[in-house]
């Protein structure tokens, strides 16, 4: 368990397993992919309502993304797959989370049945908090106004949180963050998230060419729908033995074989065997695009420059928020 997690956090993946301890609570409802600053405004409103009361505060979310269900040929990349979403919700200070399977059948539930059967009969909520754009039920008939009226009729409170904007008055959204990652704008993606975006992956065997170049790397494979722009990144990496600074290359290695896309990480001042380990990679900055070099020597010279630039970026690392501090263990 990471320092950002609480042992008392309760988690369920279906209504039948919903914990008795969370019944009667304040529920924040949304997709919450990325648990970005806009999502945390919704979660923060729920936590504020629960402060000083006996009501537990929990999140209700859905997997997979509705757009993936209705258009499976174009799945929506998850900034935070379910395990990471749950971890983030835990880090936000909630008492628990309910992640419901989203299916076509679930999408066809009438709005009044969603309210009566789920919110009232199963969860027994005292208050619901959602974002301004949350819709539910068949044909998205459950609007924020509908939820307000349902709450007034059935004795539970409803809070609708207005859109959260960035410093440029643009709405913060998961789609914007995916677009930023696809464009190599890691700084903007992280600013919208309020923490350094991260993913987990297991180290696999590669061709070991990096050793011959003086840069032994850990090879990781990202999912095929990853939007991440190919190039060179400064990264913060958590191994089984703790945190390390590093530089990473994501791409096809055009200088050598232009092969399958792979994420290769070189850890500074590290020696040891990482094969089979699950690493956590936090993106700190995007350094440059992937280039083809005329020789291995020219590539190594550029790698030396990349390493120096990455070290400089990591040396001045400051937490973006309290959540970022927790995730990177910067408080210790």
> Pairing state of beta strands 157-161 and 198-202?
unpaired
Angle, CA of 128, 129 and 134, to the nearest 5°? 105
Cα distances from 68 to residues 77, 102, 103, 208, 296, in angstroms, run 9, 10, 10, 37, 42
CA distance 322 to 118: 33
CA distance 264 to 262: 6
Distance, C-alpha 156 to centroid of its chain: 30
CA distance 29 to 24: 15
168 contacts: CB under 8 Å, gap ≥ 6: none
> Pairing state of beta strands 198-202 and 278-289?
antiparallel
CA distance 34 to 177: 9
**3-class SS of residue 2:** coil
- Among the listed residues 105, 165, 264, 297, the single catalytic one is 264
264 is catalytic: yes
> Would you please indicate which residues are annotated as catalytic (active-site) residues?
264
């Amino acid at each position: 368990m990471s320092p950002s997690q609480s042992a008392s956090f309760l988690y369920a993946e279906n209504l039948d397993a919903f914990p008795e301890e969370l019944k009667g609570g304040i529920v924040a409802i949304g997709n919450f992919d990325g648990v970005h600053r806009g999502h945390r405004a919704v979660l923060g409103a729920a936590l504020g309502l629960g402060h000083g009361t006996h009501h537990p505060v929990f999140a209700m979310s859905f997997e997979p993304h509705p757009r993936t269900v209705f258009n499976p040929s174009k799945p929506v990349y998850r900034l935070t797959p379910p395990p990471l979403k749950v971890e983030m919700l835990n880090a936000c200070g909630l008492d628990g989370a309910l992640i419901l399977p989203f299916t076509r059948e679930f999408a066809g539930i009438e709005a009044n049945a969603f309210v009566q059967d789920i919110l009232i009969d199963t969860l027994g909520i005292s208050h619901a908090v959602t974002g301004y754009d949350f819709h539910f039920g068949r044909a998205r008939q459950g609007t924020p106004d509908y939820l307000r009226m349902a709450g007034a009729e059935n004795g539970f409170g409803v809070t609708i949180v207005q859109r959260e904007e960035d410093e440029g008055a643009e709405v913060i959204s998961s789609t914007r963050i995916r677009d930023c990652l696809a464009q190599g704008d890691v700084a903007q993606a992280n600013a919208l998230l309020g923490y350094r975006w991260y993913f987990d992956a297991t180290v696999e065997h590669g061709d070991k060419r990096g050793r011959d170049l003086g840069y032994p790397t850990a090879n990781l494979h990202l999912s095929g729908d990853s939007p991440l722009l190919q190039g060179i990144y400064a990264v913060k990496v958590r191994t089984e033995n703790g945190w390390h600074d590093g530089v990473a290359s994501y791409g096809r290695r055009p200088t050598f074989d232009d092969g399958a896309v792979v994420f290769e990480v070189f850890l500074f001042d590290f020696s040891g065997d990482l094969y089979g380990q699950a690493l956590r990679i936090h993106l700190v900055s995007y350094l440059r695009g992937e280039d083809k070099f005329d020789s291995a020597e020219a590539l190594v010279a550029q790698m030396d420059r990349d390493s120096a630039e990455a070290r400089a970026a990591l040396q001045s690392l400051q937490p973006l928020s309290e959540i970022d501090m927790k995730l990177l263990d910067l408080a210790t």
